[in-house]
Amino acid sequence: MMILQGVQENYYNKMRVYLDGLPLNWKHGLATVRKLRFLFNPLGVIYELNTRMIKVDLYKLYGFMRRSVDLIYPGYSLLFLTGYGSYCKILNNIDIVHCIGSLRKYNKPTLYEIDISPIEFFYYYSGIPLSKLMHVYHYFDQFFKTENKVLVTWQSSNVHIIRKLGFDESKINYVPPPIPIIERNKEVDNEEPAILFVGHNFILKGGSIALKAFEIINKEIPKSRLIFVSQFAPPTKYSNIVFTGPIENDILKKNYLPYVDLLLAPFKFNCPSGLSLLEAMSAGIPVISTYHPLLEDYVIDGFNGYSVKQYSSKKFAEKTIELLQDKNKLRAMSKNAINYINEKYSPKYVASKLSILYRTLTSKYET
């Protein structure tokens, strides 16, 4: 285990938290959340980070197990990937464990942060009668009955399914990810706008819809260009498109978001993209996204972007053109996006919420 400190401070007389979790591929939202938690640690807390994890592609594992093991034992892939039945002994100098994306058992009081959105869950288990998934519920139910465990979710939408599984709402702690403001290199522009699409999974993130919508947009606004972040290159017939290939989140935030004027997020209904929307807003980028009832708190229609209820390239193009043709509205939405992030996701605010939960796990640090 290697000790890494998010903030340089005296190691002694501080709460020491072991930050563990699932060994995730960097494309997964939880990997980003874990990094953000580490970088913006609460006051008086020092993180010790598990650096020995081998990164895996969660979606590929999910898909393989869903098509094989789950046919015999529905829901086993969920338990397996979250560390079902495994045990991890932590060093004595650790006060508590903050485990992100895993349900391994520890010899220390543990805060579990999970990422099971309703849409993701039912996408992988669609067609399976709920009764056959009850063993998953019973495992979760028994797991969180002890006093030395706290349950946290970073997506507000997750609260819905956890409550549906039978948990007491008072035991579900929603702690959003800390989202720092990204300083823009220019004011949003509607004359030569840079439109961003991010979709490592081309199909689920609506890559084809984004391309067809941009074809319409580019005819109306010829100087517009589309920055296309995906592992699949767009067909050569499309012009004014900058294809980047897959890029890591840090590069996206440093080299692209400060220059982008609008985010186009036509994700499919069963794969909402909450974190990418928030990070775009942190750079003052208005969002045009698929309407989703679980993301109504993210994209406030007409305030920091638009939600498109009819899933078609034409509708996405119409909303994008409508916004880009109104310079005052575009700039107002840009400012609203930054204010929204500052109010609900500032690192200081999030750290204070997390600190309270840490202190509920150990009487040694009660205020």
Which of 84, 57, 85, 80 shows the shortest CA–CA distance to 68? 80
Same domain, residue pair 115 and 62: yes
Cα distances (Å, whole numbers) of residue 28 to 39, 73, 122, 199: 17, 25, 18, 11
pLDDT (tens digit, 9 = 90+) per residue, 212-230?
A: 999 999 999 999 999 999 9
- Is the model's pLDDT at 334 over the cut of 90? yes
Cα distances (Å, whole numbers) of residue 96 to 32, 65, 187, 197, 339: 21, 32, 44, 39, 34
pLDDT (tens digit, 9 = 90+) per residue, 126-163?
A: 555 556 656 666 666 666 666 677 777 777 666 666 66
Q: Judge whether 10 lies within some domain.
A: no
Q: Specify the 3-state DSSP secondary structure of 199.
A: coil
Same domain, residue pair 125 and 107: yes
Cα torsion angle, 339, 340, 344, 350, sign: negative
Same domain, residue pair 28 and 61: yes
Same domain, residue pair 84 and 168: yes
CATH of the domain at 310: 3.40.50.2000
The span from the CA of 70 to the CA of 316, in Å, is: 36
168 Cβ neighbours under 8 A, 6+ residues apart:
none
Q: Specify the 3-state DSSP secondary structure of 246.
A: coil
Name the residue with higher pLDDT: 299 or 11: 299
Q: Report the 10 Å Cβ neighbour count for 234.
A: 19
The span from the CA of 310 to the CA of 315, in Å, is: 7
Same domain, residue pair 233 and 109: no
Q: Judge whether 200 lies within some domain.
A: yes
Same domain, residue pair 199 and 334: yes
Q: What's the chain's length in residues?
A: 367
Same domain, residue pair 246 and 168: no
Q: Judge whether 238 lies within some domain.
A: yes
Which of 278, 270, 237, 314 shows the shortest CA–CA distance to 120? 270
Q: Judge whether 2 lies within some domain.
A: no
Which of 228, 230, 233, 234 shows the shortest CA–CA distance to 246? 230
Mean pLDDT across 116-135: 53
Lowest-confidence region among 2-16, 174-188, 345-359: 2-16
CATH of the domain at 37: 3.40.50
pLDDT value, residue 23: 54
Is the distance from CB of 58 to CB of 24 less than 8 angstroms? yes
Same domain, residue pair 118 and 26: yes
Same domain, residue pair 142 and 199: no
Name the residue with higher pLDDT: 329 or 3: 329
- Is the model's pLDDT at 88 over the cut of 80? no
Q: Whole-prediction pTM value? A: 0.79
Q: Mean pLDDT, the chain, as a whole number?
A: 79
Name the residue with higher pLDDT: 85 or 36: 36
The span from the CA of 227 to the CA of 241, in Å, is: 6
Q: Judge whether 323 lies within some domain.
A: yes
Same domain, residue pair 224 and 106: no
pLDDT value, residue 146: 64
Q: Report the 10 Å Cβ neighbour count for 146.
A: 9
Q: Judge whether 263 lies within some domain.
A: yes
Q: Judge whether 261 lies within some domain.
A: yes
What are phi and psi for residue 96, nearest 5 degrees?
A: -145, 165
Q: 355-361: long-range contacts at Cβ-Cβ below 8 A with a sequence spacing of 24 or more?
A: 355/42, 355/43, 355/44, 355/45, 357/111, 357/150, 357/152, 357/173, 357/175, 358/15, 358/17, 358/42, 358/45, 358/96, 358/98, 358/111, 359/15, 360/150, 361/96, 361/109, 361/110, 361/111, 361/148, 361/150
Lowest-confidence region among 139-143, 245-249, 306-310, 315-319: 139-143
Same domain, residue pair 236 and 328: yes
**DSSP for residue 200:** S
Q: Which domain holds residue 219?
A: 194-344
Same domain, residue pair 23 and 149: yes
Query: What's the number of domains the chain is made of?
Result: 2
Q: Judge whether 45 lies within some domain.
A: yes
